[in-house]
Amino acid sequence: MTIPASRKLWLGYAVAMLWLFALLWPLLGIKPEGLEFADSFALWSTLALASAILLAFWQLKQHGVFDFVSRPAEAVSTVFSKATGRVPSWIWLVLVLAGALVFPLLTERYAQDVAISVLVYICLGLGLNVVVGMAGLLDLGYIAFYGVGAYTYALLSVHFGLSFWLSLPIAGAFSACAGCIIGYPTLRMRGDYLAIVTLGFGEIVRIVLNNWMSLTNGPNGILGIKPPGAYWWSDGKIEHIWLGSLEQFYYVILALAVCTVVAVYRLNHSRIGRAFEAVREDQTAAELMGVNTLGIKLLAYSLGAIFGGLAGAFFAARMRFVSPESFTFIESAMVLAMVVLGGMGSIPGVILGALALIALPEVFRGFELYRMFVFGGVMAVMMIFRPKGLWPAKRMGTRSEERD
Amino acid sequence: MREPILELKNVSAAYGRIKAIKDISLVVYPGEVVSIIGANGAGKSTTLMSISGVLPLTGGEIYYDGARIDGIAADLLPARGLCQVPEGRRIFPRLTVEENLDMGAFFRKDKAGIAHDMNRVFQLFPILLERRRQHGGTLSGGEQQMLAMGRALMSRPRLLLLDEPSLGLAPLIVQQIFRIIREINEADGVTVVLVEQNANLALQASTRGYVLETGNVVMEDEAGALLANPDIRKAYLGE
Ligand SMILES: Nc1ncnc2c1ncn2[C@@H]1O[C@H](COP(=O)(O)OP(=O)(O)OP(=O)(O)O)[C@@H](O)[C@H]1O
Ligand SMILES: [Mg+2]
């Protein structure tokens, strides 16, 4: 790197650090007792020093100072990636699945709890992925279907004593109906308008749950929801047991997540999935090819809603309690962030996105006060360096001449 | 007289308050190649979009195959054998060539027939066979035009509406495209309505032609007669 280029780099760095301070100080330095500089300055200088050192290292690397390390490392990594590339993908799948199966045996409650959340969000993310990633419909009220599923099971369990497994398809069906009811008037809109209207409907569902006292018990929520049941061999006879422990919940949601992955994968490779993509790419062209675009969008919307509803039913069983507070807009935003961060339309991407967005904040608990700050920073950095997501969908073409 | 395959009776259409076409009447008989020529903004694409049912009419009637089709949802027409290759090709950029072609046969269930037609498309456009795993958006302009035509042929049309197939293509590719238009007309018996800027080429490939000017049909005649007409030569053939 030449000297002027280097100067430009450091100038940019200085500006960035000033900007960071301008951002940091109001957060930390303005207190009821008065203004304070020492704390924020200490934190800022640590950050600045650390990043300056990193930047200097990077510059040295650009100059080739570390070639003696990176050359052999590169050789090793190409050999490694060649070796891993030769392993068929089903082996990776089996490994991941085996890891997921033994996970509760190796960890304690806290990790299992986080894992359950991750799996719930994987189901939600994959469902929303059908709507946003495949069909290209920006839905900001997706969590409404999660809520419909959760309340369906909650009410069926509390009032009719219906079992979880019977309620599961009913919750899916109710969510699909809700998807049709919301989708029919809204899906005629395109782009930004659709986003705003779905946002509105998401809030409407939450407000209805909050105010329909006679049915939903309003903000107090519904208590006493039963966990899933199962028949199990014990003491020489078959007995009915409740799957109430954390590990059992983990396996239930793992099964649900695996089913969701398989279903979304099959959908992705089906004719219908292709029609979703065609409508996303060019609605008029799809119509000219004989695709009923409103019908296809409605289908995508209600299929997505089904996955949300199933996850919702599980959520109700897991918490044994539901209240409208769990279905706020921030949850919709979170699920959407997973899809975008992971890579729209990509199943492994959405899984990674859910892992990153649920597990990372837990990892950052050490930062306490700055947890969300660090989290936001990491998100911003990831979107700058991987704008198409952590694991982008394969459907990204390069022009032929670029490839050759 | 033969029954027309397509007939427009006093068709008008508008975008909001802008009247794009006014009182257009035209007929197309089976087996014909009919071209519609006219300057930019004359309403050629609007006419095709109205026939395809994408744009609702503000007046008039459209008959296809003896039945009235205006007011029918656009997505039902390909199954009845009416398909359009829209202006600017509009292929699906992130689907592969093969998937694009499959989308053309979206409403069809006959697997054997689809495979047969796919072979026919590859026979007409060998380059598509070579590129069949490539994303549509990565094709060159000419290849995209071929893909768009192939995709429409996958619906096994009886009436094909082509909107400016020569747009932005090199002369050699244009000739190839026109040769194929003639071939699908003659060998496969597909009736073609051809919208073109390149009036010379279009009229040479056609049996009859219509001239559109600011949303009105101002002239209709045999293609040869239009080519010989001094007014047309002056206005559209650059003489
Ligand atoms: N979506 C639209 N909204 C509003 N006006 C439109 C729209 N599409 C076309 N128009 C107007 O309708 C008129 C006819 O347009 P049309 O696209 O049919 O012309 P054309 O004959 O196909 O022209 P070209 O040869 O340039 O493709 C034009 O005045 C155009 O500005
Ligand atoms: Mg046009």
Q: Which of A55-64, A265-274, A394-403, B1-10 has the lowest mean pLDDT?
A: A394-403
Is residue A368 very low, low, confident or very high in pLDDT (cuts 50, 70, 90)? Answer: low
Distance, in Å, from the CA atom of A276 to the CA atom of A279, rounded to the nearest integer, reads: 5
- What pLDDT is recorded for position A210? 93
Looking at per-residue pLDDT, the higher value among A371 and A119 belongs to: A119
Q: For residue B1, tell me if it sits in a domain.
A: no
% pLDDT > 90, chain A: 43
Looking at the predicted structure, is the pLDDT value of residue A14 above 50? Answer: yes
* Distance in Å, alpha carbon of B129 to nearest chain A alpha carbon: 15
For residues A214-228, give the mean pLDDT: 90
Most B CBs within 10 Å, among A289, A395, A398, A402, to test the B interface = A289
CA angle A204, A206, A207 (to 5 degrees): 65
% pLDDT > 70, chain A: 96
Looking at the predicted structure, is the pLDDT value of residue A399 above 70? Answer: no
- What pLDDT is recorded for position A398? 38
Looking at per-residue pLDDT, the higher value among A386 and A257 belongs to: A257
Q: Closest Cα partner for A299 from A323, A280, A273? A: A273
What is the distance in A from the centroid of ligand 2 to the CA of A290? 21
Is residue A28 very low, low, confident or very high in pLDDT (cuts 50, 70, 90)? Answer: confident
Encoded tokens for B77? 């027409």
Looking at the predicted structure, is the pLDDT value of residue B134 above 70? Answer: yes
Encoded tokens for A365? 């608990």
Write down the pTM of the prediction: 0.84
pLDDT tens-place string over residues A41-75: 888 888 889 888 888 888 888 887 777 777 777 88
Torsion of CA B170, B173, B177, B183, to 10 degrees: 150
Chain centroid to CA A311? 13
Q: Across the interface, which of B52, B131, B136 has its CB nearest the CB of A288?
A: B52
The contacts of residue A214 (CB under 8 Å, 6+ apart) are none
Looking at the predicted structure, is the pLDDT value of residue A401 above 60? Answer: no
Looking at the predicted structure, is the pLDDT value of residue A397 above 60? Answer: no
Find where tokens 């018990």 sit. Answer: A217
For residues A18-40, give the mean pLDDT: 81
Distance, in Å, from the CA atom of B32 to the CA atom of A114, rounded to the nearest integer, reads: 68
- The protein residue with its alpha carbon nearest to ligand 1, atom 7, reads B15
pLDDT tens-place string over residues B158-186: 999 999 999 888 889 899 999 999 999 99
**Total of domains in chain B:** 1
For residues A316-343, give the mean pLDDT: 91
Q: H-helix or E-strand containing B226?
A: helix B223-228
Distance, in Å, from the CA atom of A176 to the CA atom of A302, rounded to the nearest integer, reads: 5
Is residue A285 very low, low, confident or very high in pLDDT (cuts 50, 70, 90)? Answer: very high
Distance, in Å, from the CA atom of A57 to the CA atom of A60, rounded to the nearest integer, reads: 5
Is residue A24 very low, low, confident or very high in pLDDT (cuts 50, 70, 90)? Answer: confident
Q: Quick check: B102 and A286 CB within 8 A? A: no
Asked if the C-beta of B145 comes within 8 angstroms of chain A's C-beta atoms, the answer is no
Q: Which of A197-206, A226-235, A305-314 has the lowest mean pLDDT?
A: A226-235
Residue B43, domain extent: 6-236
Encoded tokens for A21? 């301070």
Mean pLDDT of chain B: 92
Q: Which of A128-137, A166-175, A381-390, B115-124 has the lowest mean pLDDT?
A: A381-390
Q: Show me where the domains of chain A are located.
A: 3-80, 106-395
Q: In B95-214, which residue ranges form alpha helices assigned H by DSSP?
A: 97-104, 111-124, 126-130, 141-153, 171-186, 199-205
Asked if the C-beta of A290 comes within 8 angstroms of chain B's C-beta atoms, the answer is yes
DSSP character at residue A225: P
Asked if residue B40 has its Cβ within 6 Å of ligand 1, the reply is: yes
What is the distance in A from the centroid of ligand 1 to the CA of B21? 9
Residue A327 and residue A144 in contact, taking contact as beta carbons nearer than 8 Å: yes
Neighbours of A23 (CB within 10 A): 11
Ligand 1: nearest atom to the Cα of B49: 18
Q: H-helix or E-strand containing A241?
A: strand A237-242
Is residue A2 very low, low, confident or very high in pLDDT (cuts 50, 70, 90)? Answer: low
Encoded tokens for B172? 């050699």
- What pLDDT is recorded for position A396? 45
Q: Which of A132-146, A220-234, A251-265, B66-80 has the lowest mean pLDDT?
A: A220-234
Asked if the C-beta of B56 comes within 8 angstroms of chain A's C-beta atoms, the answer is no
Is residue B13 very low, low, confident or very high in pLDDT (cuts 50, 70, 90)? Answer: very high
Distance, in Å, from the CA atom of A123 to the CA atom of A335, rounded to the nearest integer, reads: 10
Q: Which of A3-12, A78-87, B200-209 has the lowest mean pLDDT?
A: A78-87
Looking at the predicted structure, is the pLDDT value of residue A9 above 80? Answer: yes
Q: For residue B214, tell me if it sits in a domain.
A: yes
For residues B53-69, give the mean pLDDT: 93
Q: Closest Cα partner for A146 from A267, A318, A349? A: A318
Distance, in Å, from the CA atom of A304 to the CA atom of A282, rounded to the nearest integer, reads: 21
A35 φ/ψ angles, rounded to the nearest 5 degrees: -85, 150
The predicted complex's ipTM stands at: 0.92
Q: Closest Cα partner for B7 from B96, B56, B77, B67? A: B67
Is residue A311 very low, low, confident or very high in pLDDT (cuts 50, 70, 90)? Answer: very high
- The protein residue with its alpha carbon nearest to ligand 1, atom 25, reads B40
Burial class of residue A207 (count of CB atoms within 10 Å of its CB; 0-12, 13-18, 19+): exposed
Asked if the C-beta of A89 comes within 8 angstroms of chain B's C-beta atoms, the answer is no
Q: Which of A9-23, A309-323, B27-41 has the lowest mean pLDDT?
A: A9-23
Reduce the DSSP state of residue A335 to 3 states and report it: helix
Which residue in chain A is spatially nearest to B49 when comparing CA positions? Answer: A288
Reduce the DSSP state of residue B62 to 3 states and report it: strand
For residues B43-71, give the mean pLDDT: 93
Is residue A128 very low, low, confident or very high in pLDDT (cuts 50, 70, 90)? Answer: very high
CATH number of B76's domain: 3.40.50.300
pLDDT tens-place string over residues A67-99: 777 777 788 888 877 777 777 778 888 888 898
Burial class of residue B9 (count of CB atoms within 10 Å of its CB; 0-12, 13-18, 19+): middle
Ligand 1: nearest atom to the Cα of B21: 14
Ligand nearest to the CA of B41: 1
Encoded tokens for A395? 């459907």
Residues in chain A closer than 8 A to B94 (CB atoms) = 277, 281, 395-397
Asked if the C-beta of B209 comes within 8 angstroms of chain A's C-beta atoms, the answer is no
pLDDT tens-place string over residues B76-93: 999 999 999 999 989 999
Encoded tokens for A36? 């304070």
Q: Closest Cα partner for B83 from B155, B187, B166, B188? A: B155
Residue type, A214: S
For residues A209-213, give the mean pLDDT: 92
Q: For residue B18, tell me if it sits in a domain.
A: yes
Distance, in Å, from the CA atom of A111 to the CA atom of A106, rounded to the nearest integer, reads: 10
- The strand pair at B208-213 and B216-222 is best described as antiparallel
Angle between helices A293-319 and A109-129 (to 10 degrees): 170
pLDDT tens-place string over residues B90-100: 999 989 999 99
Most B CBs within 10 Å, among A279, A284, A288, to test the B interface = A288
Looking at the predicted structure, is the pLDDT value of residue A117 above 90? Answer: yes
Q: Closest Cα partner for B29 from B130, B158, B195, B117? A: B158
Can you list the positions of beta strands (E) in chain B?
A: 6-15, 18-28, 33-38, 57-64, 67-68, 82-85, 159-163, 191-196, 208-213, 216-222
Query: What distances in angstroms separate CA A233 from CA A144, A238, A244, A248, one per listed residue?
Result: 39, 4, 17, 16
Is residue A309 very low, low, confident or very high in pLDDT (cuts 50, 70, 90)? Answer: very high
Looking at the predicted structure, is the pLDDT value of residue B19 above 70? Answer: yes
- The strand pair at B191-196 and B159-163 is best described as parallel
